[in-house]
Amino acid sequence: MKNNIKAIIGLGNPGSQYVFTRHNIGFRVVEALAESWGAQWLQKENMILAETTCNGLKILLIKPQTYMNNSGRVMNYLHKQGIKAENTLVVHDELEKPFGSLIIKQGGSHKGHNGLKSIISVTGLEFWHLRFGIGRPEHKEEVPLYVLANFKEPQLDVETLISKAVEMITQLLSENAQ
């Protein structure tokens, strides 16, 4: 799985009321990456950004501050930095995967995820995904409240999965360095 990741975007919504929601798992994973790699966050345009290195490679960590439906706005900043879609990993919640499922792959559709729709509308499909399975509610009309609710699974499980996601991303980036 050869890649050339230069930016990792965690999807979520700004604001303390969203911190522990299912929809904010992307923010939580990139925050754990920043902590693991000793990165410092700074406000820039419509995002919170950290520049860091992993395995000797320069990596940008990004938390869009545009709310989920406008996450694609950060892609213009990346394009100005010479970072293309295929150099980008987007970490996001995934309704179509059971809770605890973690999958990294390149390309794929938005599957109804508004943050991904926004990114795809700006940059196309060729970016990388870390799909963090959150499961799906029984009824489709429950989805908006479900993704904006806190995890019901034990917090320890969520923290363990975030750590596993950090390990998976670090491993993916180590393939770049080889």
Residues that are catalytic: 23
Helix %, strand %, coil % of the chain (to 5): 45, 25, 35
Residues 178, 3 contacting (CB under 8 angstroms) = no
Structure tokens at 128: 């990388």
Separation of alpha carbons 9 and 114, rounded Å: 15
Separation of alpha carbons 50 and 40, rounded Å: 6
Residues 92, 116 contacting (CB under 8 angstroms) = yes
